[in-house]
Amino acid sequence: MLSPLIIAACVVGVALCTKDGICESSNSTYCKGDDLKNGSIGPVNTHDECCAACKTTKGCKAWTWAWNEGKMCYLKYACSNRGNAHGYHSGGAVWTVGLKGQTSFGLLKGWTIPQLRCEGWTGVPFAQPPVGALRFAPPQPWVERYPDEGREALVASKQCMNAYGAGSEDCLYLNIARAPGTSNDARLPVMLWLYGGSFEMGDGASYDPCHLVSHGVLVVTINYRTGPFGYMFFEDAGGINTNFGQKDQRQAMRWVKQEIAGLGGDPDKITIFGESAGGVSVMYHIASPVSKGLFRAAISESGFPATATTQSAVKTSERYGIAVGCSDHASRLSCMRNLSVKALVSAAKMKPTQPFTSSVIKWCPVIDGVDLPDNPVVMWSKGQVNPVPVILGFNTNEANLFVYPNHLIGMDRSAYGDFVDAILKSMGGYFFPGAEAAKDALLKLYPHSYWFFEDNRPEASVFATDGIFVCSNLLLAQLHSRLATTRVYHFNHRTEAWGGLTELALPGVVHSMEIEYVFGSPTGLTAVEQQLSFRMQSAWTNFAKTLDPNEPTALPLAWPKYSNDSRTALVWETPGDTTETDYRSSFCPTWVKHIYELGSVSVDSSVGAIVV
């Protein structure tokens, strides 16, 4: 998830090692507030400590997120007997080995967990480790044959090196899950998940697919490089070299396309889906001509068309190169390949708490002229994107997650002005040149409070939610509806478990809140919320099966197509869903006119809507 926040202390089940190295299950309270770096949760803080405690690398599982009773907890590493079977749950569940699948590299040996109605393979390499000469290089396909007896795929890999210095460069692995008893020739529709995390952190194994697979799909979660490892920009006589994280994602798609038929999936029915940075990545692959043919449908949750201009990427990489002591342009690549991982991470100075307004180095996909030929909005306006069916969506109060934790006691008029300036500077400096010139026009729509002591956080959140998430998604939906079937959702339910003091500290339907409904939370949801989760899972998996979220499992309220004429979205909420037309129609045309108008886009003032 993008910009993580620890909500409260909670009890998480982890497996601890006894002194003789035998692992046993234990429930312990490990939440230590919101100090992720120094107060991480779990019995040990580093991979080496974990392996020493468990006396086997298989016994060390790198964790990021866990949910318990609706609360979010962060932990780094925990131990389990022979390693956690699939990486999605802590110790306690009984699992068996013996699942077999065939690939072009040989036999793959997996796991089954009957209690969770789930089986699969975990920690499967889809590319060669991007280390040494392959650091800051496009991923190279996996080519090594598995052992004659087969390759065990029982333990999740370490995450790619993240903002806190956790993880490993050797991280390009994927995880596959399906319902128990699935035949290897079942040809189930495939859903391939791209995680969020500001392009600075994330881990495929943090997301539990075992609820989704019960709907008759096969789910793949992957790792990809983030931060400077994923998005450093180099240019020499051979051309531009960047977007390594996006190329990792694509290599995983290629591996799935090539191998999934022997593991129960249908290579012709691949749907990519992702949230936040994962949603941005989904949009990237829809726009990239190099990704054409690797998937037949796409779902973007809380994504937006965020791609750095070449100029901003050059400045970011120049700044970073100087910070690590590799200031010479000609030798920068070789210099940085010889640096330690610790040196590279510490110089990045990444702070995921505020991805949109902080002044630290930002990393994201780059317009390189080949992998991504132009700004995605321009490509959509010209009809130059892959014409696959899509679902696009957003949450009601997305930006609350980025406003309230950074302004704990309120936001006065001066702070609000600084926030608006920072958002527009970030948008103009990275994605949409000239955005800062729109300040006066936008402040007429989003004025600050005229009472000196009044809190401006709600207005700041609406400003960022509209500008970054809502209006860009509605514009892309209308542009894409000319090319392929398009549907839009608006998630509008706050989880009841996030009540009490949590609601005071972080109100609203915030960024990432829909994820546990898409994947299904084993605990923490009320009966009505479980029904909402079931409807959303049905729609997502229906779409993967038939390209229509309404079939074969009928939704109580049919999800209409979104078009330039109808402009109608489905609103996910409790107790029942609704539809809405021309959402934020008094606000989005101004964003389009002043920020996103990079192609053949105009505004119909008679209806206050974007039309293309």
Residue 87 CA to residue 65 CA, distance in Å, equals 11
Residue 546 CA to residue 480 CA, distance in Å, equals 19
Residue 74 CA to residue 92 CA, distance in Å, equals 19
From the number of C-beta atoms within 10 Å of its C-beta (0-12, 13-18, 19+), residue 390 rates as buried
User: What string of DSSP letters covers 212-228?
Assistant: GGGGS-EEEEE----HH
How remote is the C-alpha of 46 from its chain's centroid?
A: 24
3-state secondary structure of 274: strand
DSSP3 helix / strand / coil % (the chain, rounded to 5): 35, 20, 45
Residue 525 CA to residue 14 CA, distance in Å, equals 22
Identify whether 276 is a catalytic site residue.
yes
Residue 145 CA to residue 220 CA, distance in Å, equals 21
Catalytic annotation, pick one of 157, 276, 288, 302: 276
Count of residues in the chain: 612
Residue 523 CA to residue 364 CA, distance in Å, equals 34
Q: Which amino acid is at 609?
A: A
DSSP state of 141: B
Stated as kind and residue range, the H or E segment containing 249 is helix 244-259
Nearest to 516 by CA among 545, 488, 537: 537
Structure tokens, 51: 């392996």
From the number of C-beta atoms within 10 Å of its C-beta (0-12, 13-18, 19+), residue 534 rates as middle
Neighbours of 120 (CB within 10 A): 32
Q: Is 333:389 a contact under the CB 8 Å cutoff?
A: no
Residue 204 CA to residue 173 CA, distance in Å, equals 9
Q: Is 182:88 a contact under the CB 8 Å cutoff?
A: no
The catalytic site residues sit at: 276
